[in-house]
Amino acid sequence: MTSSVAPETAPETGLGGRVLSALRWSFVATVVIRFSSLGVSVAMARLLGPSEFGVYAVAFVVLAAVLSLNELGVSVALVRYQGDERVVVPTVATLSMLGSLVCYAVIFSVAPGVAASFGAPAAVGPIRLIGLCVIVDGLAAVPVALLQREFRQKRRAVADITNFGVGSVISIGLAVAGMGAVSLAAGRIVGSVASVVLLVSSVRGRWRFGWDRNQAGGLLAIGLPLAGSSLVVFGILSLDQFIVGHLGGATVLGIYVLAFNLSSWPVTALSQPVRAVTLPLFARLADDPARFSRTAVDCLGALLAVTVPVATGLGASAYPLVRVVYGPDWVSSSPVLVWLAVLGGCRVLLELFYDLLVALGATRQLFGLQVAWLVVLAVGLPVGQHLGGPVGVAVAHSLVCLFVIVPLNVRAMVMRTGTPVRALVLASLGPAAGGCVIVLTAVALQRSVPDLFALAGTGLVAGLFALRGVLRLRGRVAR
């Protein structure tokens, strides 16, 4: 570095480069996994059918519940830790592993009761098998947090792709052999083990167990509210599946879960790679309110520019997508997907608000927002089920999120950061206009051409808008 570079600009340049590199590798892993998983999910859906798919869905719901709690939130505390991470790593590793072992013991014990409550008694074995992923996740907590903290997403990308690749091969092979829902659970656990081996090797010499009572107290003070919030989020995203499964059984649940998984594409394809950098980035800007606010508006506008095309294209193409890709056995998922696509788009924004509030240390306020969301859903979802079955549940969930929860999170962000509401509105106008164009295109094509051509045409238009948004996102991060 030459003397002509001002000292105060050097860290900024280094941070910008690391953020861009991490974001690039996050998107690489996401693109590879998402597009590959489309083929795998189609194959598994056709091999298993709605009933077996519903059995696996019950097991996965249980896993998601425990993964939201098992490491007690201390890995996130490690990501935002302001000092030398070597001081806290041993205690974080111990807390994560202890929490995971306790959680698996609970999974094993409650599996029969949970399976029965979802209307899928055959799910007991898959629940206990896939639950082993909780122990593997406890081992991975520290390596993942260290890689995220240091923006080393290339290592994480390799591990994630390995996880998906190994798990998919095992799942498809076992499904062909007639193992049913167990095939998905077994693939998940084998893939997770392969991934954790790579993750641990990437932080060799820094990952170890230990204990410091004082550090443990501080970590839990930050982590437990986050773990509680994550558990509430699980309830938010699973309450609809519980209601549908409890009243409709495994087959109806399988149909609903297929639509829910498809609607989650905006979250997994867009939010997850961006979240690999947003939390550590916002944590480093938390002491500069003006820059924090500008960066928040930039990220929101850029995320909307990518998310709206994907979500609207997905929802507007729900009928031809399901008919062409998944076949007639799954056509009942189409009207559910139309509405859940709205929920998927909203979830991308809510996860950005989550990272903003965590970076600002507003974990109690965040927990309150999540509890409010769960309470409103607890009232609205049964009403939706009564009026319209699974489609009514999807409508209720989406409307609650769009008209109640998103505004509450925007209000919290504005109050915490002083961000002008006008700036947020202006950042939303362009993406909203693009979404209208995509919907009109989809409607026109579906009325005039066969499903395959309508799907391809809508996908092309939505893809062009999304590509424009990706380029905008990259430019905003660079700035």
pLDDT in tens, 271-287: 666 666 776 777 777 77
In terms of C-beta density within 10 A (0-12 exposed, 13-18 middle, 19 or more buried), how is residue 208 classed?
exposed
What is the reported pLDDT for 475? Answer: 65
Phi first, then psi: give them for residue 361, nearest 5 degrees: 80, 15
Mean of pLDDT values over 245-257: 80
What is the reported pLDDT for 3? Answer: 35
Q: Which of 106-120, 223-237, 269-283, 367-381 has the lowest mean pLDDT?
A: 269-283
Q: Spell out the SS3 assignment of 383-423.
A: HHHHHHHHHHHHHHHHHHHHHHHHHHHHHHHHHHHCCCHHH
What is the reported pLDDT for 6? Answer: 36
Is 151's pLDDT higher than 80?
A: no
Is 301's pLDDT higher than 80?
A: yes
CA–CA dist 237, 260 (Å, integer): 10
What is the reported pLDDT for 443? Answer: 93
The model's confidence at residue 1, banded by pLDDT at 50, 70 and 90, is very low
Phi first, then psi: give them for residue 203, nearest 5 degrees: -120, 35
* Top-confidence range, 24-38, 51-65, 240-254: 240-254
The model's confidence at residue 415, banded by pLDDT at 50, 70 and 90, is confident
The model's confidence at residue 360, banded by pLDDT at 50, 70 and 90, is confident
Q: Give me the torsion for CA of 113, 72, 188, 242, rounded to 10°.
A: 40
**Mean of all residue pLDDT scores within the chain:** 81
Q: State percent of the chain over pLDDT 70.
A: 86
Structure tokens at 94: 């111990």
Does this model's pTM top 0.85? My answer is no
Residues 6+ apart with CB under 8 A from 396: 377, 380, 381, 383, 384, 385
Whether the CB-CB separation of 271 and 352 falls below 8 Å is answered with yes
In terms of C-beta density within 10 A (0-12 exposed, 13-18 middle, 19 or more buried), how is residue 118 classed?
buried
Q: Which of 355, 340, 23 is nearest to 156 (CA)?
A: 23
Q: Give me the torsion for CA of 34, 38, 40, 46, rounded to 10°.
A: 160
The model's confidence at residue 10, banded by pLDDT at 50, 70 and 90, is very low
Phi first, then psi: give them for residue 151, nearest 5 degrees: 60, 35
Q: Which of 37-51, 172-186, 361-375, 407-421 has the lowest mean pLDDT?
A: 37-51
Q: Which of 22-26, 212-216, 238-242 has the lowest mean pLDDT?
A: 22-26
What is the reported pLDDT for 291? Answer: 83
Neighbours of 221 (CB within 10 A): 12
* Top-confidence range, 27-36, 122-131, 270-279: 122-131
What is the reported pLDDT for 436? Answer: 93
Place of tokens 């947020």: 424
Angle between helix 289-316 and helix 272-285 axes, rounded to 10 deg = 170
What is the reported pLDDT for 377? Answer: 93
Taken as a whole, the chain contains a residue count of 479
Whether the CB-CB separation of 123 and 242 falls below 8 Å is answered with no
Q: Which of 76-85, 283-292, 313-322 has the lowest mean pLDDT?
A: 76-85
The model's confidence at residue 14, banded by pLDDT at 50, 70 and 90, is low
Q: Hey, what amino acid is at 340?
A: L
What is the reported pLDDT for 143? Answer: 87
The model's confidence at residue 5, banded by pLDDT at 50, 70 and 90, is very low
The model's confidence at residue 391, banded by pLDDT at 50, 70 and 90, is very high
What is the reported pLDDT for 474? Answer: 64
Structure tokens at 344: 């998927």
What is the reported pLDDT for 395? Answer: 95
